[in-house]
Amino acid sequence: MSEEITVAPLHAVVVPFPAQGHVNPLNNFAELLAMRGVFITFVTTEWIHQRLLLAAGDHKPKDRGSNFRFLSIPDGLPPEHGRTAQLDEYLFALQSLGPALTSLLTAADKSVPPITCIVADSFLSCTAELAKNLGVPRVVFWTSCTTLAIMQANTDLLISEGHIPVEEEDLKSKDKLITCLPGKIPPIRPTDIMSFYREKHLSDNLYNIFLHESRINKMADYVLVNTFEELEGGKEAQMGLSFNGCPALAIGPVSLPNFLEGRNSMYSMWEADKTCLQWLDTQPQASVLYVSFGSIAVKSEKQLHELALGLEACGYPFLWVLRSDIAEGKPMELPEGFKDRTKDRALIVSWTEQLKVLSHPSLGGFLTHNGWNSTLEAISMGVLMIGWPYFHDQFLDCRLAKDIWKIGLDFEGVDADEFKLVTKEVVESKIISLMGSSIGKKLRENAMRLKEAAKKAVMEGGTSYTNLNTFVKDMKNMNLYEDN
Ligand code: UDX
């Protein structure tokens, strides 16, 4: 690593949105900064910190060496609150954390270097107040793709052009394309816009909370995105996030260099089943369908039954993650006799070490909700996807995977109608198309190309690698400037 920069006095405070899909990328990013000599303070809420500690077993987040410290603050909600399951109340509570964060970080601690910057998740407007109080730059880290980030940061533009709120009839139109956004990104469709901006949600608190967050995001001093230039429109795409001329750089996939170099930087809120990898070892190459919908998405009991019967009918081995709250907050009841009938080719678990699962040679495809982390992890490992988005950015990620990168399939109509029931026949035929047809073969070639491009981007001399070094250098320069 000849380009490595050692800048011991830099101190980045890294603040993820307290949810699984945000802690993972910010934690991986923090690891990459720590590798470059930056002192890290990683701040989460007590609720999530306790869950990470419980699930980690021997691999505790606090044991990370002398230039890494973990701090946590209460989120102001009672222990029994659903957090991401009651998203509007959760976001609202988090918006008020500015003063608590300021008190936490201004408490004098002579054993750590002075704070250089706040690296904050894109949905944490409270960190703008923190950065202002501390007099340091606020770096906004987008845990979504660049296209979504540009849409979200330009909410006001989309409102003024009449695209938000997204109307019911526009959702059904396949022809309407939105081309008014900056940055070199593909034209988007109404169904690609974040689901919280759909017309029926107008009275929701979420609509207004996201609008507020988008306005604060535009005031970033520096922008980083967990994507890579070769995937999304080169440098020009990220420049669509450069409001007030601030730098905007793609530095992902941030989990990939840690994975490639054997550093375990994935922390989970659930304990991973350790038998998955051994079970995968017993399966034929490229034969297994991995089914997982991330940490938040839920489905109705009826829909889960159709899915189970489709998995049974397709004939392929499958590894299915069934979280204990997957059936709209409850555990799923499997169809009668299902376990017995599929026991020779199925493994059902409550959580996996996903990156390791996706990298396994037995994996043949991924039935996913297309959360951005899952999408990027599948791209990093060259795994094909069938997208079944649930909310938020997942409709866009699914469409990019299918139409732009051509590495996946989807279930038609789910993007416009969240209550659409996908039948067992449709599940079966889609899996067969992906796993066993010439369509899948073509998509697999594209997936392998992107896998190589992702690897190249994060290795020494690659675009993301170089961009991350540029970020560290820029922070160092800002630091020197502050000292003078
Ligand atoms: C959320 C949003 O839903 C998503 O759309 C947004 O982009 C980020 O925040 P989540 O729904 O959990 O995240 O999905 P995803 O982004 O895919 O993140 C899930 C993370 O959990 C991934 O890093 C994945 O590797 C990990 N995971 C998932 C496991 O480690 N084990 C599992 O069994 C399932």
What whole-number distance in Å separates Cα of residue 350 and Cα of residue 353? Answer: 11
Residue 76 CA from chain centroid, whole number:
25
Domain with CATH 3.40.50.2000 in the chain: 4-264+459-479, 276-453
- 377 close to ligand 1 (CB < 6 Angstrom): yes
Q: Whose CA is nearest to atom 8 of ligand 1?
A: 21
Where are the extended beta strands (E) located within 50-161?
68-73, 117-121, 138-142
Residue appearing with tokens 């307290």: 18
- 321 close to ligand 1 (CB < 6 Angstrom): yes
* Mean pLDDT value of segment 359-388: 98
Q: How far is CA 465 from CA 9, 23, 209, 263, in A?
A: 21, 21, 34, 16
Q: What is the pLDDT of residue 55?
A: 86
What whole-number distance in Å separates Cα of residue 417 and Cα of residue 105? Answer: 45
- 195 close to ligand 1 (CB < 6 Angstrom): no
Cross-strand pairs, 119: 14, 139
What whole-number distance in Å separates Cα of residue 147 and Cα of residue 404? Answer: 12
Ligand 1 centroid, distance to 296 Cα (angstroms): 8
Mutate to test the pocket of ligand 1, among 20, 254, 280 (most ligand atoms within 8 A of CB): 20
Please check the confidence at residue 202 and state whether its pLDDT lies above 90.
no
Assign 266 a pLDDT band (cuts: 50, 70, 90): confident
Q: Whose CA is nearest to atom 13 of ligand 1?
A: 21
* Token couple for 427: 């599940």
Q: What is the pLDDT of residue 452?
A: 98
Ligand 1 centroid, distance to 198 Cα (angstroms): 23
Q: What is the pLDDT of residue 211?
A: 93
Residue in 299, 277, 296 with CA at minimum distance from that of residue 288: 277
* Token couple for 292: 């997982």
- 28 close to ligand 1 (CB < 6 Angstrom): no
3 state DSSP class of 297: coil
* Mean pLDDT value of segment 284-313: 98
| 278 burial via Cβ count (<10 Å: 0-12, 13-18, 19+) | exposed
Cβ atoms of 41 and 12 closer than 8 Å: yes
CATH 3.40.50.970 fits 4-264+459-479, yes or no: no
Please check the confidence at residue 8 and state whether its pLDDT lies above 80.
no
Q: What is the pLDDT of residue 258?
A: 96
Q: How close are the terminal C-alpha atoms of the chain, in Å?
A: 31
Q: What is the pLDDT of residue 59?
A: 65
| 31 burial via Cβ count (<10 Å: 0-12, 13-18, 19+) | buried
- In this prediction the pTM is 0.96
Cross-strand pairs, 14: 42, 119
* Mean pLDDT value of segment 328-334: 96
- 370 close to ligand 1 (CB < 6 Angstrom): no
- 397 close to ligand 1 (CB < 6 Angstrom): no
Q: What is the pLDDT of residue 197?
A: 93
Cβ atoms of 244 and 156 closer than 8 Å: no
Q: What is the pLDDT of residue 181?
A: 96
What whole-number distance in Å separates Cα of residue 272 and Cα of residue 327? Answer: 20
Ligand 1 centroid, distance to 442 Cα (angstroms): 27
Q: What is the pLDDT of residue 184?
A: 86
* Mean pLDDT value of segment 473-480: 84
Element (DSSP H or E) covering residue 248: strand 248-250
Q: What is the pLDDT of residue 1?
A: 46
Which residues have CB under 8 Å from 60's CB, separation 6+? 53
Mutate to test the pocket of ligand 1, among 258, 268, 295, 372 (most ligand atoms within 8 A of CB): 295
* Mean pLDDT value of segment 247-263: 97
* Mean pLDDT value of segment 12-26: 97
Q: What is the pLDDT of residue 7?
A: 45
| Percent of the chain surpassing pLDDT 70 | 95
- Return the ∠ at Cα 137 (arms to 241 and 263), rounded to 5°: 80
For residue 20, give the ligand 1 atom closest to its CA: 12
- 20 close to ligand 1 (CB < 6 Angstrom): yes
What's the whole-number average pLDDT of the chain?
Answer: 93
CATH 3.40.50.720 fits 276-453, yes or no: no
Assign 481 a pLDDT band (cuts: 50, 70, 90): low
Sheet holding 138-142, edge to edge: 68-73, 39-45, 11-15, 117-121, 138-142, 222-225, 248-250
Interval 44-80: pLDDT, tens? 999 999 998 888 776 666 567 789 999 999 999 999 9
Interval 140-193: pLDDT, tens? 999 999 999 999 999 999 999 999 999 999 999 888 999 999 998 999 999 999
Residue in 221, 216, 218, 213 with CA at minimum distance from that of residue 194: 213
Q: What is the pLDDT of residue 363?
A: 98
Cβ atoms of 456 and 462 closer than 8 Å: yes
Cβ atoms of 477 and 438 closer than 8 Å: no
Q: Which residue has the higher pLDDT, 161 or 110?
A: 161
Q: Whose CA is nearest to atom 28 of ligand 1?
A: 294
Interval 26-51: pLDDT, tens? 999 999 999 999 999 999 999 999 99
* Mean pLDDT value of segment 252-263: 96
